[in-house]
A = this chain, B = another copy of it.
């Protein structure tokens, strides 16, 4: 067996950092050997520096690692997953890229920069061609790649197989899980037996990120998808899993059968290459009329597939359906790890 690639986690003690630790357990290619966090945590074993908030208990091999100061670039492995808070991610991620590191980030900070791939391996693997452009432009040997917001990835994965029919208009309503807000996140007094019809910045992210992800690399930049996207974002009392309802207008006017076939045949590069974290099918269509459901379906396929159901005609646009994805896995840690797997398979980590 080959030696594993050593990886580090920036922002390892927070909720997203914990999700990285959990998701990377038993990974066949990557092994966590370095954890970075704020200077408050630096110098302590991870077990001591971290209030573990996830189900079950902290993995023992990681518990013993001594946390490093994220502001110190020395000593970190080449590949770093960033789970940093948006308030500090910009500078620190840049510093590591500057120092030659491959920063695969879940933070929103660099997502919309023109030379940074906003990567979903099933959708736009060719956007990795921005990396040499980024390196040339920024004059660094490292690189930064990002994954989308946790709601956006559910939407774009469900839309990707429909791209060939010409997506023109999208109206989406989200019903988002509380785990999407981190910890302590949403107060129970706000969400118990309630709906909160607002999530700060979320609608803008969904509208803009979707256009970039589904956009086309032209020359040295991404031409965004020329479609209008309108999002209504809501918080509901669900633990994990963002459920979305989608109405979509399509230029080519496919039949319902055409769409089902497109979903069924969707087998992009991560599946072709058998990347370790790629689900067998990236988009799983469920026939039951009341599925997918977050509590019942979110853990299937290790949380890496997007589940679609209830495809039917929309009287206003062309079709409507419901989709579900795991916000902390496919929408965060798992997304970044799959990005790194794609980058590794492309030789970008050599």
Instruction: Pick from B184, B236, B294, B314: contact of A175, CB below 8 A.
Output: B236
**Which A residues from 286 to 335 make CB contacts under 8 A with B?**
289-297, 299-300, 309-310, 314-317, 320, 322
Known: A55-B296, A228-B315, A315-B228. A291 touches B188 (CB 8 A): no
Task: Specify the chain B residue showing the minimal Cβ separation from A292.
Answer: B197
**Which A residues from 161 to 207 make CB contacts under 8 A with B?**
169-171, 173, 175, 178-179, 183-198, 207
Tell yes or no: A105 within 8 A of B by CB: no
Instruction: Pick from B179, B195, B245, B294: contact of A293, CB below 8 A.
Output: B195
Instruction: Pick from B56, B169, B229, B237: contact of A296, CB below 8 A.
Output: B56
**In the complex, what residues of B have CB within 8 A of residue A309's CB?**
197
Report the interface size for chain A: residues with CB under 8 A from the other chain: 61
Contacts A/B (CB < 8 Å), 13 sampled = A54-B296, A55-B299, A56-B299, A57-B300, A185-B189, A188-B237, A189-B239, A195-B238, A195-B294, A207-B315, A228-B316, A230-B317, A237-B237
Report the separation of the CA atoms of residues A30 and B186 in the bound assembly, to the nearest whole angstrom: 36
In addition to A55-B299, A197-B293, A232-B247, 9 A-B residue pairs with Cβ atoms within 8 Å of each other are A56-B297, A178-B192, A183-B187, A192-B192, A192-B193, A197-B245, A198-B289, A229-B315, A237-B238
A residues with CB within 8 A of B: 53-57, 169-171, 173, 175, 178-179, 183-198, 207, 228-230, 232, 234, 236-239, 243, 245, 247, 249, 289-297, 299-300, 309-310, 314-317, 320, 322
Taking a contact as CB atoms under 8 Å apart, the answer to whether A178 and B189 are in contact is yes
Known: A187-B183, A188-B187, A189-B184. A194 touches B238 (CB 8 A): yes
Least distance between A167 CB and chain B CB atoms (Å): 12
Task: Specify the chain B residue showing the minimal Cβ separation from A199.
Answer: B290
Task: Specify the chain B residue showing the minimal Cβ separation from A186.
Answer: B188
Taking a contact as CB atoms under 8 Å apart, the answer to whether B178 and A316 are in contact is no
Taking a contact as CB atoms under 8 Å apart, the answer to whether B170 and A316 are in contact is yes
**In the complex, what residues of B have CB within 8 A of residue A232's CB?**
173, 245, 247, 320, 322
